[in-house]
A and B are shown apart, each in its own frame.
Chain A
Amino acid sequence: MTSPLTTGADARTRKGPGGVALSLALLPALAVVLILFGGGFALGIVQALGYLPGAGLGEWSLAHFARVLSDPDFLHSFLLTLYIAGASTVIAAGISIPAALGLASLSKRSRVIHFIFQMPLTVPHLVIAIAVMFMLAPAGLLSRAATGAGWIASPADFPLLINDAWGIGIILTYVWKEIPFITLMLLAVLRHTGRDLLDVGRTLKADAWQRFRYITLPIIFPALGAASLIVFAYTFGAFEVPFLLGQTYPMTLPVWAYKHYSDIDLMARPEGIATGIVIALVVMAAVILAQVLTKAARKRGLIA
């Protein structure tokens, strides 16, 4: 597995300056990742497996996982989370492709458009979730505009767009936030290798659609896949947006996990952690599945 952020080979790599120097350079980074991240993850698993000496739980068991997985609400939450993450990723990726092509064809002088386009990157999810709430709530800006236009008579007539069953507000928030992320990843690749190969394609008889299908798409595919995976992983495990804009039942998995974790009943805490572990496992499985599918498709010549 290669990292999602460094697709393609490094420009110039040399043989090492010696194992000791390399180890020293990497040691602090690996220490932080292994101790803080690895430790946190491992302790999470330990606690989810019921080993919690301080709280009088000293038995190893799969009971917490079993209880989480057998909870009828779990399947609801899981499917809802999968739907929200999947829809957000697919929509954002789908819009990002034409957006990246559009930005790539803009001259570098159109700095204003570039600048505006980058703004959502730096905006915290929480802020945009609040703004979406102000806009899409039953008495929000959109509803007021609709009333003004005479389409609806009262907030009650306005379609439910936040705290709704379809997670429309949540998905809109994610799409708004993630389009620039995916687009800029694609743009970096397009700027790097785009123009010349398209010219070659033109003289080799490829029309506009064929140039997109057989040249542009293969060029951006690795970056698109990596960026989409990161977006999927994030939206599957994020708490703020569904907590603010989601409905009270069913909750998304992260909200569900935190609800258990913060329950006054300390016995519910391991269940919360177990849910968190399940989320992590699903995300990792998605990444591995994507790798396997990519490899298989490559083997069969479906993609490059």
Chain B
Amino acid sequence: MGELDLKNLRIDYGARMIIRDFNLAVRNGEMMSLLGPSGAGKTTILKAIAGLLAPAAGDILIDGQSVRDVPPEKRDAVMVFQKPLLFPFMNVAQNIGFGLRMQGQPGREARRHIGAILALTQLEGLEHRKVHELSGGQQQRVALARALVLKPSVLLLDEPLSNLDANLRQRMRELIQTIQSETRMTMLFVTHDQSEALMISHRVALLLEGRLRQVGAPRELFYQPADPEVARFFGGRNFFQGHVRDGKLHSDLGVFPVGPQNGNGHVRTATIRPEDIRIAPRATGQSRGLRGRVVKTRFEGSSTRVVVACGANEVMVLTPEDAFRPGQEVEITVPPEKIRLFPGD
């Protein structure tokens, strides 16, 4: 089992409230990302779950049992830190076996478990190495193995990949995913990297300014952001307002069908992702697009960012073609089905 429930958690740092009214439920066997910009309080929450930090209010439940009064060493939640923090005076196998030894597990059994974890984390053959002889990726794998071997109900991962270079990061991410799907261990993975969170997890919880904004499947957060700030966090641009009338949104960028359930007569905010807008040089013939002029372009390799002035609005477009220059007259098309209309207040 491995259910984690955080109820009305409040965490203070001195007189400052870092986390308030935090509610989150991680299901058994789930890989959940806790995503947020650095300084949002993600690590603080992990430390509270691990017991290294006492919440000012609220409760933490593991498998339905409150662990508020359980010291960290007795909690069934193990934390992997941002830095590997391997014990420098122990070799790889001793580091991995540390937790088992603390629980008084007999040597033979412990060796069997360590052997299995070494295979799982691709560390075979390194068990007698000193930790300073390991590469950064190997060190982080040992840190991971050291936690996994305890088979905790909940594994807490605090940006364990952030100190690795891009290539290694990708491989480690895949390794963690494989391990998770093989062991079905409940994991709470903290990261500030949105693509990492979207790639790795079953569900993502987005934390902005100490508050949980949205929890859901990766595609849900990406395509149906709860509010403009969530959208902005996932690279959303092009926020615009319009008037809803007869199931349609009337805006400067056009009239879009939004379904009958959206209240008539209200001003609402909507967004369209830059990559969803189509852009073309202005044709001489008739067209159904919006007319505009290129303000500036930014070449990003596989795509180019183009800012287009359409009347009073500036629209950002992401296109695979590197064919536009400032001053050029263009035509953009906004596909109505890609419009995201935010719920009203």
Contact = CB atoms under 8 A, between A and B. Distances in A.
Tell whether A and B belong to one assembly. yes
B102 interface: yes
Given A199-B52, A304-B90, A204 B102 contact: yes
B78 interface: yes
Interface centre among A196, A210, A303 (most CB of B within 10 A): A210
Interface string B98-112: 110111000000000
B115 interface: no
B contact residues, range: 20 to 34
B102 A205 contact: yes
B274 interface: no
Contacts of B85: 196-197, 200
Contact of B73 (A197, A206, A221, A304): A206
A207 B89 CA distance: 19
Contact of A304 (B89, B103, B146): B89
Contacts of A193: 88
Contacts of A102: none
Contacts, number: 66
B103 A205 contact: yes
A204 B73 CA distance: 6
Interface residues of A, number: 20
A85 interface: no
A202 B72 contact: yes
B50 interface: yes
Given A199-B52, A214-B98, A304-B89, A204 B83 contact: no
A205 B156 CA distance: 14
Interface in A188-222: 193, 196-197, 199-207, 210, 214-215, 218-219, 221
Nearest to B81: A200
Contacts of A203: 50-52, 72-73, 75, 77-79, 147, 156
B87 A197 contact: yes
Contacts of B101: 214
A47 B299 CA distance: 84
Interface of B: 50-52, 71-75, 77-79, 81, 83, 85, 87-90, 98-99, 101-103, 146-147, 150, 156
5 contacts: A196-B85, A199-B72, A203-B79, A205-B99, A206-B99
Given A202-B73, A205-B74, A304-B90, 16 more contacts: A197-B87, A199-B52, A199-B81, A203-B51, A203-B147, A204-B146, A205-B73, A205-B99, A205-B102, A206-B98, A206-B102, A210-B102, A214-B98, A214-B101, A219-B89, A303-B89
